Structure 1
Amino acid sequence: MTNGTGRTGTIRRTVSTLVGVIAATTLLAGCGPDGSGTAADGGRPSPTPTPKEKLLAAVPDGTEGAFRFTGKDSSSDISGVVDPGAKGLDLTAAYKDPEHGFTTRMSFLVMQERLWLKVKFTGTEGLTGLPKLPNRWMELDRTKLTDGESAPTYEGADVGNAGPIIEAATSVEAKDGQTYTGVVDLTKGEAGKAVGEEEVGALGAAAGQVPFTAVVGADGNLATLTLAIPAAGKAKAWTYLVKYADYGSAPKLAVPTGSAAQKAPKVAYDMLNG
């Protein structure tokens, strides 16, 4: 396929997908397991913590320093750095267009209330009609975004929403000092929003019995949380993965300056606003 034109609709669908992916990732972050900012039991741990309480205590709460994040759901992958001290996020998602074959890689940088965007297209040989964007961080004015509420914001350290998912666990067993297994009821609390309401709804009764495995690192912090989502109807089985790594040693985030950044041009808003 060569000399393609009229990519505007494709780009808008791609951008909408990627913004939705990143927005969903930060949807519930910063809340306690019950969404209130505190533990579900009012913050008073049991005299002898249960496996579930121990696992919840391992979820990042912002005191661990900057760390790396990787997430995976039914259709996308996302990665980046979380810097609680700076109230910052650097999150990147990529999407390959199934029809035209090119890949859009979109990154958002959040520093408190400020927001930057970087976009890169690859595999575009022979294609025309793609927006021409600078290869640097473009600072966005949220008031110029049609759907500003979908733009990423810093809401807390647990960007993978591990806390709400673990809180919905109906059973948790400690295999050893670092590995936990159990079952999650994705219809409970905020777990369905964390994983994806449409995907959870498609599971039917199976949504109440989703197996998980979690690993806590030697430092006491959550390393991975994996949900084995079963097949349902025409949908294949898939994996929901949250991975946190390099606590305290990941690079701290900073506001981009000089030639590394500029104000977002009109074409960037046109792309985001569709």
Structure 2
Amino acid sequence: MLTPFKPRVRALGAVAVLALLLAGCSPILDEAENAATASPSVAPPSSAPAKTPREKLTGSVPTYRTPSYSWSMVNEGVRDGWTASKGVVDPPGKTFLLENVVRDAASGVSTIWHIRVVHPKTWVWIELDNPRNEDGFPEFPTKWGLLEQEQVEDSGPALGWDLWSKDPANVGLLFREIVDAKEAGPGVFTGTINIQKAKLAEVVDEKTLTALGAKAKAVPFRALLDPQGRILDLVLKVPGTAKTKPITHWIAYRDYGAATVTKPPTAAETAPTTDDVYELINS
């Protein structure tokens, strides 16, 4: 499935974003897990049956009622294709802002996709990082361009608000395929996920999924929820194989109710969308 957050294009930005996105995921999760292990708390008695770890995790995913929040996602260990994303989502208002990094290892060229959606309109701005000055790449506008959806082919990525937009990192799809889970402490969970069944979440590409074989049916994860039971961090450790390297899939959801809601760009921030932009989207 092609989601508006991971457009699978032959591409071309800057993996320096990787270090920025990694900041804040693992240390927070490790600190919370250590604290929970050191001083476990006792839940107050309740007449309602206690939720299982699986129920707590599946119930932590953003819905259409979730207030605006920021998010980031990184595939550490991936050198070609989609490597990192970050953005802001406002499910009630049906808006999002996205920065998506895709790298072509052969040419060394990367693309940063900037996508801004205020439903029903979408604006796109594409940056190229071409450190070797490779020939044959177009000059894209340096401002936001309004996207005419009728010029996006059916095979192209879905660049607008849709069913998946409220949960851009596909946490819900992953938690749906939990094999086992336990709560290590308040809000801290460990377990395994079957990423073969959750292939629509696109944790790895088809080649890696095939190479993993049975290993894909039980990939270890760690997750952290906030005191309100909302997802903060999810980290999957995808093992290496004879043909593929290990991958660490990092997801962070933050700033619930405090993230700046996306607005349409001003007239000064826009420019006509060129044929080169549509050609890249439809490639």
**1:121 Cα offset (Å):** 2.3
Q: 2:237 aligns with which of 228, 235, 250?
A: 228
Q: Is the 8 A contact 2:70 2:88 kept in 1?
A: yes
Give 3-state SS (helix, strand or coil) of 2:66's partner. Answer: coil
Return the offset for 1:203: 1.0
* Alignment correspondent of 1:217: 226
CA RMSD of aligned residues (A): 2.2
* 1:185-196 alignment runs, 5 A limit: 185-188=194-197, 191-194=198-201, 195-196=203-204
Query: 2:96 matched to 1:89?
Result: yes
How many residues matched? Answer: 231
Normalised by the length of structure 1, the TM-score is 0.76
Structure with the larger helix share: 1
Does the 8 A contact of 2:211 with 2:243 survive in 1? no
Q: 3-state SS of the aligned residue for 1:58?
A: coil
Q: CA deviation at 1:123?
A: 4.6
* 1:13 lines up with 2:32 in the alignment: no
- Residue in 2 aligned with 1:34? none
Q: Answer yes or no: is 1:109 the counterpart of 2:116.
A: yes
1:146 aligned partner: 153
AA aligned opposite 1:273: N
Q: Secondary structure at the match of 1:151?
A: coil
| Aligned-partner SS, 1:175 | strand
TM-score, length-scaled by structure 2: 0.74
Q: 1:165 & 1:97 partners in 2: Cα distance?
A: 27
Deviation at residue 233 of structure 1 after TM alignment: 2.4
- Paired with 1:266 and 1:197, the residues of 2 have a C-alpha distance of 29
Equivalent residue of 1:61, what SS? coil
Maintained 8 Å contact 2:66/2:92:
no
1:140/1:263 contact within 8 Å kept: no
Q: Is residue 56 from structure 1 mapped to residue 58 from structure 2 by the alignment?
A: yes
1:42 corresponds to: none
One-letter amino acid matched to 1:175 = A
Identity of aligned residues (%): 27
Distance (Å, rounded) in 2 between the aligned partners of 1:94 and 1:149: 17
Does residue 1:240 correspond to 2:237, yes or no?
no
Query: What displacement does 1:97 show?
Result: 4.0
Q: Which runs of 5+ in 1 are unaligned?
A: 1-11, 16-45
1:47 maps to a residue whose letter is P
The structure-2 alpha-carbon separation of the partners of 1:124 and 1:240, relative to structure 1 and needing over 3 Å to count, comes to closer
Q: 1:108 to 1:227 in 2, by over 3 A?
A: same
- What secondary structure is seen at the aligned counterpart in 1 of 2:261? coil
The Cα of 1:69 is off from its aligned counterpart by 1.2
